[in-house]
Structure 1
Amino acid sequence: MARTLLHLVRHGEQDPAAPEDGGLSPLGYEQADRLGRRLAGVNFSQIHHSPLARAVQTSDVLTRHLPQVPRHPCDFVADRTPVPSAARRDDYPDRWLSWLDAVPGEERDEDAAALQRAVQHFGVTGEVDRCELLVTHNFVIGWFVRHVLQAPVWRWIGLDSANCGLTIVKWESDQSPEVVAFNDTGHR
Structure 2
Amino acid sequence: MGIRRLYLARHGAADPFGTLTDIGRRQSNLLGERLAGLPVDAIWHSPLPRAAASAHEIARHLPGAPVLEAAELIDHVPYVPSPAETPAAWAGFFDGFDAAEAASGHSLAESLTTRFATAPGAALDTHEVLITHAYQIAWLVRHALDAPSSRWLGLNSANTALTVIEYRTASPPAIVMFNDQSHLPPDLRWTGFPKTTWP
TM-score band (shorter)?
A: 0.7 to 0.9
1:118 Cα deviation after fit: 0.9
Give the structure 1 partner of residue 21 of structure 2: 25
Note closer, same or farther for the CA distance 1:48–1:75 as it changes in structure 2 (3 Å cut). Answer: same
Give the structure 2 partner of residue 92 of structure 1: 85
Tell me the C-alpha RMSD between the 2 structures: 2.2
SS at match of 1:5: strand
1:94 Cα deviation after fit: 5.7
SS at match of 1:55: helix
Partners of 1:80 and 1:109 within 8 A in 2: no
Q: Which runs of 5+ in 2 are unaligned?
A: 185-199
Note closer, same or farther for the CA distance 1:115–1:69 as it changes in structure 2 (3 Å cut). Answer: same
Give the structure 2 partner of residue 183 of structure 1: 179
User: In 1, distance between residues paired with 2:60 and 2:113?
Assistant: 27
SS at match of 2:44: strand
1:92 Cα deviation after fit: 2.1
After the TM superposition, which parts of structure 1 deviate over 4 Å for at least 4 consecutive aligned residues?
A: 107-111
Aligned pair 1:156/2:152, yes or no? yes
User: In 2, distance between residues paired with 1:91 and 1:175?
Assistant: 32
Give the structure 2 partner of residue 5 of structure 1: 5
User: In 2, distance between residues paired with 1:65 and 1:111?
Assistant: 33
Give the structure 2 partner of residue 122 of structure 1: 116
Q: Which amino acid aligns with 1:79?
A: D
Note closer, same or farther for the CA distance 1:122–1:79 as it changes in structure 2 (3 Å cut). Answer: same
User: In 2, distance between residues paired with 1:80 and 1:58?
Assistant: 18
Q: Normalising by the residue count of structure 2, what TM-score does the alignment of the two structures yield?
A: 0.83
User: In 2, distance between residues paired with 1:109 and 1:39?
Assistant: 35
Q: Which amino acid aligns with 1:167?
A: T
Percentage of identical aligned residues = 36
Of stretches 108-117 and 136-145 in structure 1, the one that deviates more from structure 2 is: 108-117
SS at match of 2:164: strand
Q: Which amino acid aligns with 2:85?
A: Y
1:1-80 alignment runs, 5 A limit: 1-16=1-16, 19=17, 22-80=18-76
